[in-house]
Structure 1
Amino acid sequence: MKGRSKSRFEVPEALTLEILLKLPIKSLARFNCVCKSWCSSFRTLYFSSKHYHNNLKSSNLNVLFQHRYGNTLYFSQLSTGKDENSLVTHNICLPFFENCVYHPQVYGPCNGLLCLYDHGDGKAALWNPSTGEFKILPRSSSRRPPFPGYTSFKCVGFGYDSKTDDYKVIHFITLVYIDNEFMYPHEFRSRVELYSLRSDSWKEISSVPKACPFSNYLCSICIDGICYWEAMTEYHRDNLILSFDMVSETFSTLHFPDFGGSLEQYNVQLLEFNGSLGVIVHPRLETEKSFDLWVMNGAWTKQFSIESISGVKKLLGFWKNGELFYRGSSDELLLFEPSTQELKKLGINAYPDATCLVAYVESLVPINGRSEHDEHITHQSVRDA
């Protein structure tokens, strides 16, 4: 009896790619060495874009807490499905930002990338926490000597130019003359520079806005290539939203919704809500947090109005569909869903010294940087800490 020849079943290449597109980045990193075609496919714009948009549809939650221990900056990494228990998996040390006078601000995420900026001495870097790439940016030349009576403000925005497939960082340095009698901005002198990842260089933006953007990361956001900041005009005439289009490289302004109060009485924070610009408005002094959520769709419309959320202390950040992260009264991390008005305990400590929380989606987007290992960035397992 003759032996039967073994049949070989080959999966079509297109189907193989569709399967790979659904895998987490850690798995794809291991599969880089399987074959050259896989490795080159993972680096294409098509694959990275499709993989990112697949991740947007999932319920997996990736969160970074920023906090400091001594002079060292740490990020605690949390990963979970929204219906599962939350786990802090690693504490990540970023030595590039050691000995900073201020906590570096985190801008983004933008397609899974983060921009970190030290407002003290102007150090800046891009970071893909999913792939471990880290890129130190060249220094901006925006350094003006102080003028008598002027205070210096710095502000940053980070976004994506879809026309040129480029990631850009916009950097403001604004000298503000403060009227000591009335304690409001009297006059601005601004300089604006724009960094391009594609050219790895800065250039000056000649058209300077007549407004001073705020530097708080909760007062800035980028949606579809447009950066938004809470801003103030000269002589304190108006509070408004300043925007910058990463494609056309032009500024414009937008008024806040008419929420029936003044910005001296209410906090406003910008967020993305289902792909649109949103504003959270809540009283400054109330202990139980009530808020309104307004969304811009051609005109401002009130999306939600929540009368009271008890047991929360501080708003830390936002998730993709308008969910809010709070630090609870017992310093635990809470996730509030406005649509159901459900307040969910995520089961981890929110760190009283945490300065921000960033929720991001895993991404393969390259930044032409170096590996975390080359930049001496360390991941310490929480079990080992």
Structure 2
Amino acid sequence: MYYTHYVTVHGPHNGILCLECDANIICLWNPSTREFKVLPQSSIQRPPSAADTSFCGLGFGYDSQTDDYKVVRIVGNVFEYHCDGNSYYLETTEQVDLYSLKGNSWKEISDPIIDRGVNVRDTTLLDNYVNGFYYWHATAHDYIILSFDMVNETFSTLPLPEFDGGFEQCNLELLNYNGLLGAIVYPLEGTPKSFDLWVMNGFWTKQFSIESVPRVERPLGFWKNGELFLESSDNELVLFDPSTREFKNLGIHSYKEMQIVAYVESLVSINGRSEHEEHVIRRTAEDEVG
């Protein structure tokens, strides 16, 4: 039986969701077929000098050339150093694990961008997968966007849009916007909030701005006709129409961070087991608070 209070959802791709659960358990799930697969633990060796390891970036995508589903995981190794009797810790992101559904196995990837030292900031809950590439916030000598090519299994970097305020004052959420990489920029604190949408199509351009939206905490993704799902300051799910500036409260309350997933049914097999065989029990937020 798998029981978790908190799950981060990646995808879906062709109807398959990747679930990042407690205790670094990663699962694939097809809700249409009720097929469920817990990924095997990686056997990749960590440096013996590492005092600790942490998983600081995870991406899920589809390799169209080999018809394979892949999970990429960036691992940070923490090394302990002693100086004058005091302990100092240095965190590096030096290792990358890649899982292949076809092979049902993990392998280690070496890449010069990762080897030079990149600190991944995997904080967004939006869909960061666009046209075969998965994207993360990251820092090297400066703030950048790190991308992973699911076909060629290589990393590359992109600059961030040049928005006012910088990361000292603003949040930036990456997302798939109509098949292009998009970025929503909004203030870290305060209400009402304003939202700027930037789109990458060879270079960054500001698509539009939404000014002074009251009683909201953060964006959750776009819906039809440019409507925007938002999480309100009291943890309610609302739909905002920028053209009319009207709010629609959807009557859904969350006691943890919300995610919006646009799901399309699929019969693609993940070579797993049924939810019943795996003793998977799905519980709603109402069950938890009731």
Instruction: Sort the TM-score into its range (normalised by shorter chain).
Output: 0.7 to 0.9
Quick check: 2:196–2:210 contact (8 Å CA) kept in 1?
yes
Residue 125 of structure 1 aligns with which residue?
27
What is the root-mean-square deviation in Å for CA atoms of aligned residues?
3.0
Counterpart-to-counterpart distance in 2, 1:372 and 1:130 = 11
How far residue 111 of structure 1 moved from its aligned partner, in angstroms, is 2.5
Q: What does the per-residue CA deviation read over 1:259-304, in whole Å, with 9 as the maximum and x for residues that have no partner?
A: 1221111000011111100000001112112110000111111111
Matched, 1:138 2:45: no
Counterpart-to-counterpart distance in 2, 1:176 and 1:303 = 40
Matched, 1:227 2:134: yes
Which of residues 184, 192, 195 in structure 1 aligns to 2:99? 195
Equivalenced residue count is: 277
Counterpart-to-counterpart distance in 1, 2:202 and 2:224 = 20
Which of residues 350, 358, 361 in structure 1 aligns to 2:253? 350
Q: What does the per-residue CA deviation read over 1:139-174, in whole Å, with 9 as the maximum and x for residues that have no partner?
A: 1235636746x7734321000001111110001111
TM-score, length of structure 2 as denominator length: 0.83
Q: Which runs of 5+ in 2 are unaligned?
A: 82-88
Q: Aligned pair in 2 of structure 1 residues 332, 220: CA closer, same or farther (>3 Å)? A: closer
Q: Aligned pair in 2 of structure 1 residues 324, 331: CA closer, same or farther (>3 Å)? A: same
Q: Aligned pair in 2 of structure 1 residues 258, 364: CA closer, same or farther (>3 Å)? A: same
TM-score, length of structure 1 as denominator length: 0.64
Residue 332 of structure 1 aligns with which residue?
236
Quick check: 1:273–1:322 contact (8 Å CA) kept in 2?
no
Q: What does the per-residue CA deviation read over 1:317-337, in whole Å, with 9 as the maximum and x for residues that have no partner?
A: 454776432222454321234
Matched, 1:212 2:119: yes
Computing the radius of gyration from Cα coordinates, the structure with the larger value is: 1
Counterpart-to-counterpart distance in 1, 2:25 and 2:284 = 27
Range that drifts further, 323-332 or 154-163: 323-332
Quick check: 2:126–2:221 contact (8 Å CA) kept in 1?
no
Quick check: 1:327–1:350 contact (8 Å CA) kept in 2?
no
Matched, 1:375 2:287: no
Q: Aligned pair in 2 of structure 1 residues 299, 373: CA closer, same or farther (>3 Å)? A: same
Matched, 1:96 2:2: yes
Residue 243 of structure 1 aligns to a residue in which SS?
A: strand
Residue 119 of structure 2 aligns to a residue in which SS?
A: strand
Matched, 1:161 2:66: no
Matched, 1:248 2:152: yes
Counterpart-to-counterpart distance in 2, 1:202 and 1:191 = 12
Q: Which runs of 5+ in 1 are unaligned?
A: 1-94, 180-184
Residue 313 of structure 1 aligns with which residue?
217
Higher helix share: 1
Which of residues 302, 305, 311 in structure 1 aligns to 2:206? 302
Counterpart-to-counterpart distance in 1, 2:187 and 2:150 = 33
